[in-house]
Amino acid sequence: MQTKEKSLFMLAHEEGSNLAIVFNDHVHDSKQNTYCQSHIIWNKSDIEISKKFSPKKNNAVLLSQSYLRIGLDSKSFRVSECGSFLEFAHEITDQGEVSEVGKLHSANFCRDRMCPMCSWRRSYKIFGQVSQIMELIGDKYKYLFLTLTVPNCSGDQLSLVLDSMMDGWRKFIRYKDFKVVKGFFRALEITRNNDPCSKSFGTYHPHFHVVLAVPLNYGSGRNYISRDKWLNMWQKAMKDPSISQVDIRVAKDKNASKEASLELASAVAEIAKYAVKDSDYIYPEDPDLTDNIVVTLSGALHHRRLVAYGGILRDAFENLKLDDPEDGDLVHINQKLNPALAWLIVKYGWSCGTYKMTDVYIKSPGEEVNDIE
Ligand SMILES: [Zn+2]
């Protein structure tokens, strides 16, 4: 009988942007001969790193430089360290096959509200959470997308406007008509008008993206709320009759399927993606403008909850024991590594504007691995 003993990884090298890991199998055949077979796996995580992690890390570096220029030294340090190492785990099967796509299992993320890397991780996390919540709730409800806006404001007014929006939201969900809503997910987004030809150039546009869970018979009975009614409720909550922009649409019909749930989760993750998009405040060619916007946004977002679950979505969130999408674990989006399996761990470090592989090792089944969240 032939047996195999793995001595994984003898060397790793780069070819173009791809990284290969070469490792050996020591094969013992029935005649007690031992010989060596070499295998190469192309590490596909490397592509994910260069296409996704590196651009976010580069923007995080620019944000950190801006924080330093405006005197927020400790924030600057934290963001500069964000994602300075990443470890990917590739599953090794009993047959010794190594999966080409690794899972991120350890990294040091800073969780700064504006960090481009962490915002991107957060959107993955919210996608994972909403997928699980939708699966638990199933097809008992129908979902609506609601966008609540207020008139654009200047950077100086932004913080006060956000305060009044948060107050307005609390009133809004207490209105009698809102009782038809059985649960919600709410995300704050702030965009900035960057069009020099526009008369509102340089102003900020804060708005809420909301997903509402309503009964399946919503729309057929008396519990239907028209767009004008939503607008009216929001104007009243905000004490601002000049508000004219409210958008409401059906997100998902009652014929729910797993695909529809995933589609909804991904639509939710999309709206919850970034409180602020890095392209709205990182101007590599214009540090003064970057600093100006970073001061405004970091001040306005300080200690603010950017996303919130309510009603049955909050109940499902608690039943599933999900952690805080804003301050929780940004590494393990779905699950941690199964300790009963063997894993090939590939570690990368950020150096001179790029990620480089710094270590490869094998984690045998049952062996402890220290995850860093
Ligand atoms: Zn970060």
Residue 215 burial (10 A CB sphere; 0-12, 13-18, 19+):
middle
Dihedral, CA of residue 56, residue 154, residue 206 and residue 161, to nearest 10: 130
**Centre of ligand 1 from the C-alpha of residue 78, in Å:** 8
**Centre of ligand 1 from the C-alpha of residue 272, in Å:** 17
pLDDT at residue 42 in the model: 58
**Centre of ligand 1 from the C-alpha of residue 110, in Å:** 4
Residues near 133 by beta carbon (within 8 Å), at least 6 away in sequence? 309, 313, 316, 317, 320, 322
pLDDT at residue 252 in the model: 57
What pLDDT tens digit does each residue of the chain (373 aa) get? 555 555 554 444 444 444 556 666 666 777 777 766 666 665 666 777 888 899 999 999 999 999 999 999 999 999 999 999 999 888 887 777 778 788 888 899 999 989 999 988 888 888 888 888 888 887 788 889 999 999 999 999 999 999 999 999 999 999 999 999 999 999 999 999 988 899 999 999 999 999 999 998 888 767 789 999 999 999 999 999 999 989 998 875 545 566 766 777 777 777 777 788 899 999 999 999 999 999 999 999 988 888 899 999 999 999 999 888 777 778 776 567 788 888 888 889 999 888 888 888 888 777 766 554 4
- CA separation, residue 47 to residues 76, 172, 287 (Å): 28, 45, 30
Token pair 């997928």 is found at 131
SS3 107: strand
**Centre of ligand 1 from the C-alpha of residue 120, in Å:** 9
Q: For residues 210 and 199, what is the distance between their CA atoms, to the nearest angstrom?
A: 28
**Centre of ligand 1 from the C-alpha of residue 252, in Å:** 33
**Centre of ligand 1 from the C-alpha of residue 112, in Å:** 5
**Centre of ligand 1 from the C-alpha of residue 81, in Å:** 8
**Centre of ligand 1 from the C-alpha of residue 190, in Å:** 19
**Centre of ligand 1 from the C-alpha of residue 162, in Å:** 23
Angle at 131 between CA 137 and CA 320, to 5 degrees: 60
**Centre of ligand 1 from the C-alpha of residue 115, in Å:** 5
Helix (H) or strand (E) holding 347: strand 342-351
**Centre of ligand 1 from the C-alpha of residue 128, in Å:** 19
**Centre of ligand 1 from the C-alpha of residue 14, in Å:** 27
pLDDT at residue 364 in the model: 79
